[in-house]
Structure 1
Amino acid sequence: MWDFLFSQYKNYDTFSIWLEFIAVIFGLISVLFARVNNILVYPTGIISTLIFIYLLFQWSLIGDFIINIYYTIMSIYGWILWSKRKNEAFEFPVATMKTVDFKKSIILFTLTTVFVIIIYIYFDKFTSWTAYVDTFTTGLFFVGMWLMAQRKIENWIVWIIADLISIPLYFYKGYTLTSLQYLVFTIIAYFGYREWKTYLQKETLSK
């Protein structure tokens, strides 16, 4: 079982293995903070994404590399939004998506997918079926991160879909630690959705 899960790491240098492990740990910590609606989701997430930016560039995984650059930028954006207060209340509280948010999400997903396709064609990366899946998951992750910055509860649904796809995808690529990270992400996202939903219901009843 151990060889089945981690045999690919035999050819990896120790430094990269430790970096991936640290990035996974901070990624998990970040999602745990997101689950409880804590702003520390962003600084911890930035540490994880910056490490993955370096690793993914080394591994020539262009789509994932782009995702993590976007994550870092959106983490800074989300950090700013979550810090804003108006009359002692959050300016961007937990809320559900409106029609305009769905339209923006569709536009963001479409533009992201087209952009990644262009990048993959330019770098001649459409050499495996995984590249086609990457274009789809990249679009989902972009939307999920944007919705989280806006504190829209539906961000968890998008994360769950994208994470479930990423579990076998990363394992197939040979990155077991990252695959396991997405497995845990899926579980946390499920409970995150439930907690945000409960929180939103309580806020609605208190008004």
Structure 2
Amino acid sequence: MLYDLFLKPYEGYSTLFIVLEAIAAFFGIVSVWFARRNSIWVYPTGIISTALYVYILFVSGVYGDAVINIYYTAMSLYGWYVWLNVKGEGQVLPITRLHRRGALFTGGFTLANFALFYIILQYYTDSIVPTLDAITTALAFSAMYLMARKKVENWAFWIACDLISVGLYIYKGLGVTALQYLIFLILAISAHFEWVRLYREQQAAQAHPGNTSTTKPA
């Protein structure tokens, strides 16, 4: 069974393709690990992974996720800039939570992206999984934006996206990538609780300004 899942699907692929997927998966996992730690290194490592996945996913016919990775790359550049460019020397972008207006916007943004990508994938591509592809695309678009703005809720979107993606990539025959998303899922669950803890520490530090543990991202 393990052979059928992780090795047999690659019999028709070149060695270069397999190596590229392994590299992309490695840097993707490293990037999420840095994200969990609230480290700026989430972005340069993530860009390596997403740029490689653009090619891998287009070749594999998972067009929605290929578009996701183009967006990831652009949003990683944006997030890198936002995290580094905070007014005040030694200051960092704080972790915050969505308020009602932001939650409504994010919900609408997610639904609009799902509808848009479902129509595109269903009627204008040969995607074999248009519904799941559209769902993961919409969830990931919202998650990446929320991460760039350092919103705790980004992890809820990642958890949902990663859970669906594990099944999607197993079905598609990309065993290494399915394993990567399983690791992503575990890290995202852990990261949610870690960011909640950091958020509460920030709130406590704001209530008692003389006692702060906030540090500049690594």
Under a length normalisation based on structure 2, what TM-score does the superposition of the two structures give?
0.89
Aligned to 1:40: 41
- Rounded to whole Å, the distance in 2 between the matches of 1:81 and 1:124 is 34
Matched to 2:131, the amino acid is Y
| Unaligned ranges ≥5, structure 1 | none
How far the C-alpha of 1:122 sits from its partner, in A, is 4.2
How far the C-alpha of 1:23 sits from its partner, in A, is 0.1
Aligned to 1:196: 195
How far the C-alpha of 1:176 sits from its partner, in A, is 0.5
Large movers: runs of 4+ above 4 Å? none
Aligned to 1:93: 94
Aligned to 1:109: 110
- Rounded to whole Å, the distance in 1 between the matches of 2:154 and 2:192 is 8
- Rounded to whole Å, the distance in 2 between the matches of 1:159 and 1:117 is 19
Aligned to 1:174: 173
Partner SS for 1:17? helix
Matched to 2:78, the amino acid is Y
Matched to 1:176, the amino acid is G
| Unaligned ranges ≥5, structure 2 | 207-218
CA gap of 1:4–1:121, structure 2 versus 1, over 3 A, is: closer
Aligned-pair identity in percent equals 42
More helix by share: 1
Q: How many residues align?
A: 204
**Are the aligned partners of 2:122 and 2:130 in contact in 1 as well (CA < 8 Å)?**
no
How far the C-alpha of 1:120 sits from its partner, in A, is 1.4
How far the C-alpha of 1:84 sits from its partner, in A, is 1.5
Matched to 2:10, the amino acid is Y
How far the C-alpha of 1:198 sits from its partner, in A, is 0.9
- Rounded to whole Å, the distance in 2 between the matches of 1:31 and 1:115 is 27
Aligned to 2:50: 49
Matched to 1:40, the amino acid is W
Aligned to 1:75: 76
Deviations 1:84-122 (A, max 9, x none): 2222322x3101111121122122212211221232144
Aligned to 2:209: none
- Rounded to whole Å, the distance in 1 between the matches of 2:71 and 2:148 is 12
How far the C-alpha of 1:142 sits from its partner, in A, is 0.6
Aligned to 1:63: 64
**Are the aligned partners of 2:33 and 2:187 in contact in 1 as well (CA < 8 Å)?**
yes
Deviations 1:12-46 (A, max 9, x none): 11110000000000000000000000011011101
- Rounded to whole Å, the distance in 2 between the matches of 1:124 and 1:193 is 35
105-114 vs 185-194, greater mean Cα deviation: 105-114
Matched to 2:164, the amino acid is I
How far the C-alpha of 1:3 sits from its partner, in A, is 1.5
Alignment of 1:114-129 (within 5 A): 114-125=115-126, 128=128
- Rounded to whole Å, the distance in 2 between the matches of 1:108 and 1:138 is 12
Partner SS for 1:86? coil
- Rounded to whole Å, the distance in 1 between the matches of 2:84 and 2:177 is 30
Q: Does 1:138 align with 2:137?
A: yes
Matched to 1:3, the amino acid is Y
